[in-house]
Amino acid sequence: MKTRRSSALNAVATGFVVLFLTLIVFFWARWGCESARSKLLPEQARKLDIDASSLIMPRTKEEPNGIPCLVHAVMMPEEVPTEGLGVLRYLNAHLPDAPNSPLYAWGVSGDYPRLYYSRSLGMIVYYFRLPVLQADGTYLTRPIPDGTEVVEEEGVAYAGPKGMGDKPDSKLGRFTDPLVRTAARDIAHQIVYDRGLRRFFVIDWHKKIVRQGPPLPGDVAPPVDFGWARKQSKCLNLYTETPEPLLTYGVNPGRTLVLDTAGSIRMLDLDTLEYTGFAGGLPAPATLFPSDRRAKPDDLFAFQVLPVFVNMGKQYVGCAVAVLSRDATAAKLEVFDANGASVAMADTFADVSRAGENGSPARSHSVPTATALYLDLPGEVLTGVKFVLESFHPPALLLASYFTASSIEATAGHRSLFVLPNSFVAMKGRDVRYGPIRRFWTALPFLLPSVLFGVLFGAAVARDARRAGLQGYARRLWVAVTVLVGLPAYITYRVTRPKTARVTCQNCGRWRWVNRETCHHCGSPWLVPELVPPAWRVIGQPEEQPCNDPSPRPEQTISRESEV
């Protein structure tokens, strides 16, 4: 009744539904494991402390009253599973002052300011109430009974790369994809990096000017963030502890730190809008399988870059950088001096109790937190569960996870359904200790169980398909798809498998399908022994009948017997 094409369409459609539902179940099982693991780390293992006194003024024999400066980083891994979910991320990302929201400020009901990027105009629009700046640089004032007050004006201004105006004029140019940060918490000053134009700009709404910097050199990676660069700050806290009262953060009026996509931190001079030097880089935390010494922003679930200024913000002394790994099992803190040289670094460690050799009593060892969480109880159990879940993942997708390991952004990995950037296979894919061939070889033990399950399911499908009498090409296709996709394909096969009745072939005695003309084992035609029709037939020729006599026939009566 059904064509081959519609059956194939049904199989594909059913397969997608099954795959979709199965992967969601697997996702939440993995999420549960992650959540459970995120709570295992004791408080002391989550903290990192570095003495950065040398940045400011270290205690020395000559200067026993040196200014201490401790840098602290605290990881909050229990926030990661929730923060990684898309719905929260989406809602947070669309709040007015979200990091990459084009809505920078929005006062309601006439409460200024309103500052936003208009995609249609390609300009930054500012509804302001600002003091009136006079030509001599002072603000206009007016006398009031108690003294004077600054005169404020209300208005709207439009800023493009070529200037500013009170109307959206095409002569002002267009920003194509700006990254905007407020300078030194002064909303009347913005630092803008336009990804399309590859330049920095400074917008001064007071002076109504837009300054443009030179284009970034071609060999320099584009910026990701500047000022107080941070990502997922709910999961990683970074702060300093010092009696020095005038440490300032964020964007100093004269300069600012810029983090680029390669993980390098550079100093940007806000007067020339050019890079003046290297300030540091994102360190790579000690994950289960080591990766590069330096990390990229996309490789990390969370990071914070904290510039440190002293002397009322006039002097830059260095910066502290804290990072949290993709899977939130390890954090690292590194401190750089004013020249970008690394001063100190620290990884998170946890104390685990391990049995001694030759029956000696268990001793406490300090191991990296990633190792502790994955390989020591009770994390071991969760690791086992994670491994089993990954083994049931479609082999083709798991293999794809290996090859796409580095290209998926860390937070997106916590929302990924199809490929698994946080799987063991993907971790091996990012393991830079080995060359590509050896790396793949060492990843095989993590890939093989999934392939094995795929083969087992494929074998089950092959056996059943042969019994079901599927045609050769259909059988081979099902087996191939099941080996590649694993459990979801097996479930799909069972759901869409034709459920045709079978009867015993009268010729060969084996099962045969009732919807086939001949037995697919011996080729014999049909015999239905339970139905024994008579040998006689009374079959007349069908004819086209003209319009029949409409009058009913008289009631039949039994007539007299007649001679033959």
* 370 and 427 Cβ atoms separated by less than 8 Å: no
Q: How far is the CB of 498 from other proteins (least distance, A)?
A: 10
Beta strands 230-231 and 47-51, pairing class: unpaired
Q: Which two tokens stand for residue 236?
A: 């990683």
Quick check: 208 binds other proteins (CB under 8 A)? no
As a three-state string, the secondary structure of 389-434 is: HHHCCCHHHHHHHHHCCCCCCHHHHCCCCCCCCCCHHHHHHCCCCC
Q: How many CB atoms lie within 10 A of CB 397?
A: 22
29 binds other proteins (CB under 8 A): no
Residue listed under structure tokens 């459970």: 36
Does position 517 interact with other proteins (CB under 8 A)? The reply is: yes
- Contact between 473 and other proteins by CB under 8 A: the answer reads no
Compute the least distance from the CB of residue 6 to other proteins, in Å.
6
Nearest to 241 by CA among 71, 465, 29: 71
Number of other CB atoms surrounding residue 30 within 10 Å = 21
Residue 126 or 446: the one with the smaller Cβ distance to other proteins is 126
Contacts of 337 (CB under 8 A, 6+ apart): 54, 55, 317, 318, 343
Q: How far is the CB of 411 from other proteins (least distance, A)?
A: 11
Q: Which stretch binds other proteins (CB under 8 A): 161-169, 426-434, 452-460, 541-549?
A: 541-549
CB nearer to other proteins: pick between 116 and 201: 116
Take residue 298 and report the two structure tokens written for it: 């996309």
Near other proteins by CB under 8 A: residue from 44, 138, 515, 524: 515
Binding residues for other proteins, rule CB under 8 A, total 77
Q: Which of 85, 133, 344, 455 binds other proteins (CB under 8 A)?
A: 85
* Residue 563 in the binding site for other proteins (CB under 8 A): yes
CB of 542 to other proteins, least distance (A): 4
| Contact yes or no for 279/337 (Cβ under 8 A) | no
130: its two tokens:
């600002």
Nearer to other proteins by Cβ, of 127 and 249: the residue is 127
The region of 61-69, 240-248, 318-326, 524-532 touching other proteins under the rule CB under 8 A is 524-532
Q: Which stretch binds other proteins (CB under 8 A): 71-79, 296-304, 471-479, 509-517?
A: 509-517
Q: Does the protein bind other proteins through residue 4 (CB under 8 A)?
A: no
Question: In the bound complex, what is the minimum distance in angstroms from residue 157's beta carbon to other proteins?
Answer: 17
Which residue's CB is nearer to other proteins, number 17 or number 455? 17
Asked if 116 interacts with other proteins (CB under 8 A), we say yes
Taking contact as CB under 8 A, which single stretch among the options 35-43, 113-121, 358-366, 378-386 is the one that binds other proteins?
A: 113-121
User: Please, which residue, 246 or 528, has the CB nearer to other proteins?
Assistant: 528
Question: Which of 532, 500, 529 has its CA nearest to residue 516?
Answer: 500
Among 65, 358, 364, 559, binds other proteins (CB under 8 A): 559
Q: Is the CB of 437 or the CB of 539 nearer to other proteins?
A: 539
User: What part of residues 117-176 is at the interface with other proteins (CB under 8 A)?
Assistant: 118
Between 472-485 and 395-403, two packed helices, what is the crossing angle to 10 degrees?
50
Alpha-carbon 316 to chain mean position: 34
| Chain residues 86-105 in contact with other proteins, contact rule CB under 8 A | 86-91, 94, 96, 102-103
Nearer to other proteins, 140 or 412 (CB): 412
- Choose the binding region for other proteins from 34-42, 145-153, 237-245, 533-541 (rule: CB under 8 A): 533-541
How long a stretch of residues is the chain? 564
- List of residues 6+ apart from 179 with CB closer than 8 A: 100, 192, 193, 194, 195, 223, 225, 226
Binding segment toward other proteins, per CB under 8 A, in 107-115, 256-264, 459-467, 474-482 = 107-115
- List the interface residues with other proteins, window 395-434 (CB under 8 A): 415, 417
> Is 27 strand, coil or helix?
helix
Q: What is the DSSP letter of 169?
A: -
Query: Partners of 342 in the beta sheet?
Result: 336
Residue 87, class by beta-carbon neighbours within 10 Å (0-12 exposed, 13-18 middle, 19+ buried)? exposed
Considering the complex, what minimum distance in angstroms separates the CB of residue 325 from other proteins?
A: 21
> In terms of CB distance, is 62 or 561 closer to other proteins?
561
